Amino acid sequence: MSAPRLSLDKDLDELNQDILKMGGIIEQQIYEAVECLINKDRDLAEKVIKRDDEVDELQQIIEDKSVRLVIRQQPIAKDLRTIFVGIKLVTDLERISDIAVNIARIANRIIDQQYIKPLIDIPRMAKIAQTIVRVALDSYVRRDVNMAESLFDMEEEIDHLYSQIFRELLVIMMENPRTISQATQFLMVARHLERIGDHSTNIGEMVVYLETGKRIKLND
């Protein structure tokens, strides 16, 4: 293998490691954002919010490295596509981080209130959301089209739970209008978690495109 090829492979591997690091932080943010809601933990909510700066910084590092890599190595064909897909991928990851921050902020707003219902389905949604992010990243690193396509079923499960939560909270609000304010906050949390599924399937679509050249939709 030529020296330029070895150098390019090393740089691409470094980008992958940065992306995985960013993904690991975001998985933890999702978990902690819902944990602070469940346990009414204001300190944990603040931790989630503060880590957004770390994610933003990592996104900038990855994008800067990608640009320098294109200029220095002048990759072509699939290598070039890999770099551009990586840049798009970290945009979705950064938006997932923003979602976790939004959930933590909602937790801060209602943390001192008596909850109108036990939190059962929202933690279930959060667990699937963590998993779908991890699988999306694994599919990218492994360039695994089958794994990427499996994201569709996971996203469907998230959508089903969102619909279930929506119906349940709607009934609660209709029966007792005084619950509307807090129920709306829980609906926003569920909607945020549903959006994580959408961003993760975006990553899956990029993996399929990267490996096959085909553009598909996993979340129609």
CA–CA gap between residue 115 and residue 117 (Å, rounded): 5
Q: What are phi and psi of 106, to 5 degrees?
A: -65, -45
Q: Which domains does the chain have, with CATH numbers?
A: 3-212 (1.20.58.220)
Intervals of the chain under pLDDT 50: none
Which pLDDT value is given to residue 71? Answer: 81
Which pLDDT value is given to residue 11? Answer: 79
Which pLDDT value is given to residue 98? Answer: 97
Sequence-separated (6 or more) residues with CB below 8 Å from residue 45:
33, 36, 104, 105, 107, 108, 111
Which pLDDT value is given to residue 219? Answer: 67
Query: Per-residue pLDDT tens for 78-88?
Result: 788 888 888 99
Q: Where are the alpha helices (DSSP H) in 40-120?
A: 42-73, 77-110
CA–CA gap between residue 21 and residue 75 (Å, rounded): 24
Which pLDDT value is given to residue 5? Answer: 59
- Considering the entire predicted model, what is its pTM? 0.91
Which pLDDT value is given to residue 4? Answer: 60
